[in-house]
Amino acid sequence: MKNLLFFFIVVLTSWTAWAHDPGGRWTSSSGARVDLWANMEQVTVTVTTQEGQQYRYNGRWTRFSDTFQYTANQLLYQAAFQGPNEIVVTSPGQPTRIWTRGSTTTVQGFQASGLYSSSSGSTVQIQNQKPRIFVTIVNPQGKRFEGSGSWISPYRFEYTVPGQSGKAVCTVNARNPNEGGRGATP
């Protein structure tokens, strides 16, 4: 009897470990922002594209707290948890998308770290140390500025430089992330 009770406790606790709450903000590997809301029967998927367009889709659980489906543009999408912070989204004939819980600091593999040339003539060194961004700027006259900031969306980060007023915002070129971005430099 003791062994049977132990078995049921192990089974019940392991089953609840697989239950996932999708509620909250996710970032798609496509670069879109995804907001999810769910109850015991339905899942609401709100997608905000890179261009800021917002679309809302109603879905339903196919296996509660593990997989759900929704229809977008007459295509049926299947979404399956791959752990508490990742959802794999598939649809026949469409690219597989990975949704990651929270905001990510990359743009489809763009890591931000590197050396860039600014249109102002400055050289900009960016170090992406999730979730922070560190910026070193050397202007055309050779003066060095150092600042830090954080990502505010998958395509934008803001930073401040001591001695300079306000925050600068850098926007990564979504069509060519290796080009760097646009932003204010001292």
For 146-160, how does the pLDDT look when each residue is reduced to its tens digit (9 = 90+)? 988 877 766 677 888
pLDDT for 13: 37
pTM of the predicted model as reported, rounded to 2 decimal places: 0.49
Confidence of residue 105 (pLDDT cuts 50, 70, 90): very low
Q: Is the pLDDT of residue 127 over 50?
A: yes
For 3, the 3-state DSSP assignment is helix
CATH number corresponding to 20-101: 2.40.128.50
pLDDT for 57: 97
Burial profile 76-89: b = 16 or more Cβ within 10 angstroms, e = fewer: ebebbbeeeeebeb
Domain coordinates of the chain in residue numbers? 20-101, 114-183
**77 vs 82, residue with greater confidence:** 77
Sequence-ordered alpha helix ranges (H) in the chain: 2-18
Supply φ then ψ for residue 101, to 5 degrees.
Answer: -60, 135
Rounded to 5 degrees, what angle do the CA atoms 176, 182, 186 make? 145
Query: How confident is the prediction for the chain on average, in pLDDT?
Result: 76
Q: List Cβ neighbours of 108 (8 Å cut-off, separation of 6 or more).
A: 29, 30, 31, 177
Radius of gyration for the chain, computed over Cα atoms and rounded to the nearest angstrom: 22
Our measurement of the distance from residue 118's CA atom to the centroid of its chain's CA atoms, rounded to an integer in Å, reads 26
Q: Is the pLDDT of residue 117 over 80?
A: no
pLDDT for 109: 47
Q: Is the pLDDT of residue 175 over 70?
A: no
Supply φ then ψ for residue 22, to 5 degrees.
Answer: -80, -10
Handedness of CA 51, 53, 59, 64 (dihedral sign): positive
Q: Is the pLDDT of residue 110 over 80?
A: no
Whether 72 contacts 58, CB under 8 Å: no
**70 vs 142, residue with greater confidence:** 70
For 35, the 3-state DSSP assignment is strand
